[in-house]
Structures are given as structure tokens and as C-alpha cells.
């Protein structure tokens, strides 16, 4: 990817992060962790060849699960 493509991809991830936090609350792990997490999610879904229309709801669901686990509210409580 060229530096221009990298910058454009980063901007799209920023927009997605903004929308995600606006809809579902701020990330408990902080913005830098959220940006890394979103990048990883998109790469994972691309490797799995997930249809475009499914990527958004899958990431939103994964975000809510991640935030629940980060807050200590997941199923794995001791």
C-alpha cells in the first residue's frame, strides 16, 4: 500500500471508531487499543472472506463482547 492509501485506510478506521464509540460507548481500553483492535477485526474478516454487509454487524457485536469482558462482566467471572 502507498502512504496515501495507508492514510486513507487510517482515516476510514478513525471514522468507524468514532461511529462505534458514539453508538456503543467509549472504549474502556482507550483509543489506541481500539484502533489496533478495529484494524485486526477488518483483517480477520477479510481473511475469512466475510461478505461486506456482514462485517459491520459482526464488528459491532465483537466490540460489545470485548467491552463487556474488559469491564469484567463476561461469562468467565470467578
What's the pLDDT tens digit per position in 41-62?
Answer: 999 999 999 998 999 999 999 9
The answer to the question of residue 58 being in a domain is yes
Q: Is residue 51 part of a domain?
A: yes
Sorting pLDDT into bands at 50, 70 and 90, what band is 70? confident
DSSP-assigned letter for residue 6: H
Examine residue 5 and state whether it is found in any structural domain, yes or no: no
The domain of 66 spans 26-72
CA 42/CA 44 separation, integer angstroms: 5
As a whole number of angstroms, the distance between CA 8 and CA 50 comes to: 22
Q: What pLDDT sits at residue 77?
A: 52
Decide: 25 and 67 in contact? Cβ < 8 Å. Answer: yes
Q: Is residue 35 part of a domain?
A: yes
Number of domain units in the chain: 1
Amino acid at each position: 500500500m502507498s502512504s496515501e492509501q495507508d492514510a486513507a485506510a487510517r482515516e476510514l478506521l478513525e471514522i468507524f471508531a468514532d461511529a462505534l464509540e458514539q453508538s456503543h460507548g467509549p472504549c474502556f481500553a482507550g483509543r489506541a487499543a481500539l484502533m489496533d483492535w478495529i484494524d485486526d477485526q477488518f483483517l480477520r474478516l477479510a481473511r475469512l472472506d466475510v461478505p461486506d454487509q456482514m462485517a459491520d454487524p459482526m464488528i459491532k457485536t465483537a466490540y460489545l463482547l470485548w467491552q463487556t469482558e474488559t469491564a469484567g462482566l463476561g461469562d468467565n467471572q470467578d
